[in-house]
C-alpha cells in the first residue's frame, strides 16, 4: 500500500499534485472494472489538504468535463437536482449523495433524516463539537448493490470562526471524478458556512483508494502533457460563470424537473446572472 499527503493553498493545485503523485508512486492494482488487456491501475491512500479552497483561480482546465458539467454536478450535490432519477427497480440510479445527506432513509423510521441540517444545528449549539457529521453508507443494503456510494462521510468543525470540512471517500477516480467531487463538496461547505454565519475554512479530502484506471492511460497522457507544457492551467470562477449559467439552464430545460428543484435552480440561475460582468 502506498500513501500520499498533499497540502496546497488552492483546489486545482492540490488536485493536480495529488494526481501526479498517484501516477508516480501509486501501487499497482487490478480493479473490478478491468477489461482483458487493461493495465493495472495506480492506486494510493490520499490525504489532500486545501488550506484556502475558495482562493482563485479555483478550477483546473484539465479536469475531464466541461464547466457546464461542473455546475450540473454542483446542482446534484447541493440541491438534489436529479434525486427524482433514483429508481433502481427500473434500472436507474440507486441513490444520490444529496439524497443520502439530506434525506437519509432508515428502516423503521417513517421520515428521512436531514443529516446536514442536524450537523448545522449541532454546530450552532457547540461550534467546537466533534459530532457534526453526515454519512452516506447504508449497511443494510450497500454491500449488495451494483454501485455502492463512494463518498462515505462529511465531518464539520468550526475553528477560529471558520467552518472546516473533512470528507472521507472509500474509492475515488483520481483523474476523472476527484476534481468535480472536491469542487462540489467545497461548494456544500461554503453553503453550510453561510447557514452558520461563519467564513469558509479549510478542506481535507481523504480517499482510501485514490486511483488512476489503466483503461484510460492513453487519455491520461494528455493530462500529463498539459501539465508539462501549459503554464496557464487554471480557470477563475469569474471566467467560468457564463458556462455555469449554461449548466443551470441545462437543468432547467429538463421536462421532468420537479417544481421544488426548478425553484432552486431558478434561484441559482439568478445568482449567477447577478455576478456576471
CA gap 224, 242 in Å, rounded: 28
Q: In this predicted structure, what is the pLDDT of residue 1?
A: 87
CA gap 115, 72 in Å, rounded: 22
Q: In this predicted structure, what is the pLDDT of residue 57?
A: 98
Instruction: State pLDDT tens for residues 112-152.
Output: 999 999 999 999 999 999 999 999 999 999 988 888 999 99
Q: In this predicted structure, what is the pLDDT of residue 89?
A: 85
Domains of the chain in start order, with CATH, are: 3-275 (3.30.572.10)
Q: In this predicted structure, what is the pLDDT of residue 144?
A: 85
Q: In this predicted structure, what is the pLDDT of residue 90?
A: 86
Q: In this predicted structure, what is the pLDDT of residue 255?
A: 97
Looking only at the bridges linking them, the beta strands covering 199-212 and 162-173 are: parallel
By the 8 A CB rule, do 181 and 28 touch? Answer: no
Query: pLDDT by residue for the chain (277 residues), tens digit each?
Result: 899 999 999 999 999 999 999 999 999 999 999 999 999 999 999 999 999 999 999 999 999 999 999 999 999 999 999 999 999 888 899 999 999 999 999 999 999 999 999 999 999 999 999 999 999 999 999 988 888 999 999 999 999 999 999 999 999 999 999 999 999 999 999 999 999 999 999 999 999 999 999 999 999 999 999 999 999 999 999 999 999 999 999 999 999 999 999 999 999 999 999 999 8
By the 8 A CB rule, do 133 and 154 touch? Answer: yes
Q: In this predicted structure, what is the pLDDT of residue 181?
A: 98
| Entry pTM | 0.97
Looking only at the bridges linking them, the beta strands covering 3-8 and 41-50 are: parallel
Grid cell 441513490 is found at 95
Amino acid at each position: 500500500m502506498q500513501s500520499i499527503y498533499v497540502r496546497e493553498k488552492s483546489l486545482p493545485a492540490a488536485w493536480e499534485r495529488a494526481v501526479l503523485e498517484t501516477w508516480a508512486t501509486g501501487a499497482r492494482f487490478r480493479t473490478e472494472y478491468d477489461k482483458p488487456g487493461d493495465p493495472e491501475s495506480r492506486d494510493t491512500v490520499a490525504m489532500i489538504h486545501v488550506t484556502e479552497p475558495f482562493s482563485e483561480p479555483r478550477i483546473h482546465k484539465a479536469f475531464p468535463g466541461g464547466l457546464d458539467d461542473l455546475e450540473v454536478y454542483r446542482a446534484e450535490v447541493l440541491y438534489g437536482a436529479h434525486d427524482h432519477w433514483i429508481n433502481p427497480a427500473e434500472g436507474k440510479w440507486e441513490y444520490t449523495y444529496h439524497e443520502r445527506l439530506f434525506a437519509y432513509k432508515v428502516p423503521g423510521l417513517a421520515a428521512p433524516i436531514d443529516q446536514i441540517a442536524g450537523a448545522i444545528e449541532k454546530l450552532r449549539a457547540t461550534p467546537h463539537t466533534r459530532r457534526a457529521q453526515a454519512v452516506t453508507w447504508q449497511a443494510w443494503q450497500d454491500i449488495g448493490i451494483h454501485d455502492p456510494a463512494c463518498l462515505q462521510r462529511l465531518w464539520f468543525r468550526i475553528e477560529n470562526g471558520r467552518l472546516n470540512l473533512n470528507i472521507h471517500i472509500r474509492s475515488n477516480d483520481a483523474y476523472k471524478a476527484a476534481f468535480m467531487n472536491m469542487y462540489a463538496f467545497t461548494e456544500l461547505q461554503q453553503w453550510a458556512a453561510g447557514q452558520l454565519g461563519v467564513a469558509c475554512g479549510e478542506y481535507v479530502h481523504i480517499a482510501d483508494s485514490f486511483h488512476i484506471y489503466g483503461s484510460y492511460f492513453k487519455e491520461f497522457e494528455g493530462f500529463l502533457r498539459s501539465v508539462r507544457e501549459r503554464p496557464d492551467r487554471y480557470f477563475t470562477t469569474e471566467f467560468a460563470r457564463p458556462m455555469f449559467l449554461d449548466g443551470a439552464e441545462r437543468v432547467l430545460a429538463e421536462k421532468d424537473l420537479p417544481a421544488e428543484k426548478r425553484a432552486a435552480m431558478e434561484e441559482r440561475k439568478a445568482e449567477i446572472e447577478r455576478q456576471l460582468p
